[in-house]
Structure 1
Amino acid sequence: MEMDAATFEQLVVDELDRLPDEMVDGLDNVVFVVEDRPEDGSLDLLGLYDGLALTERGHYGMGELPDRIIVYREPHLAHATDEAELRDEVHTTLVHEIAHYFGIEDEQLHEMGWA
């Protein structure tokens, strides 16, 4: 599947808007970033939470750089056969990475069907 960077970024924004308010209202000092590929160039990683989960934070105040949730465009496109499948996978990736922000680990996500 092919899709240019601007169109994919808009798709990610659309999927963010579809997430339940209770999931995104608790996000603080987090930015969402779309990148083409992970640094290692692989197509295996769809997304990444880059930050310190809420459950691991001690003191958290002003001046910290924002946490990042990265969505990788090329791996998503490599795994999807059509736009509906792509939207589903982006949605799942966003939920998965937001869960990491809240301190939910991969094992719990597997049990809940989000990994």
Structure 2
Amino acid sequence: MPVQLPADEFERLVEAELDALPADMLEGLENIAFVIEDEPDDDEDLFGRYEGVDLTQRGQYGFGELPDRIVLFRLPHLDAAESLQELRDEVRTTLVHEIGHFYGLDDDRLHELGWA
């Protein structure tokens, strides 16, 4: 049976998992917003999405730029987890995966690293 967790509790869980990530993974993040939505607007089967220009593709980047976004989709996470620990693990994997995209890692490389 999937985990049931209200939106505010899911947000706290995401914040806790983000805070628990290694500092060296987070120190390069700049001008990025972490957002939680219930599910993707399209019919894709996604846990998360990176929206922005990754570090390897940026030219002149700075003042006045809108923040990139890492979006986590709550309902797919809840549907995939049968325990709170499974949910935490999947949220952590999704965060690492999407942060990897921010740093310019493609899905193949993320799979090689075990982050996908």
Normalization by structure 2: what TM-score? 0.96
Q: How does 1:39-54 map to 2 (within 5 A)?
A: 39-42=41-44, 44-54=45-55
Structure 2: which 5+ runs fail to align?
Answer: none
Matched, 1:92 2:98: no
Residue 74 of structure 1 corresponds to 75
CA distance in 1 between partners of 2:79 and 2:47 (Å): 10
Letter in 2 for 1:17: D
The 3-state SS of whatever aligns with 1:28 is: coil
Offset of 1:41 from its aligned partner?
A: 4.8
Q: Percent identity?
A: 57
Normalization by structure 1: what TM-score? 0.97
**1:82-112 deviation line (CA, Å, top 9, x unaligned):** 0000000000000000000000010001111
Letter in 2 for 1:66: P
Aligned positions, number:
114
Structure 1: which 5+ runs fail to align?
Answer: none
Letter in 2 for 1:23: M
Letter in 2 for 1:4: P
**Which aligned runs of 4 or more in structure 1 are off by greater than 4 angstroms?**
none
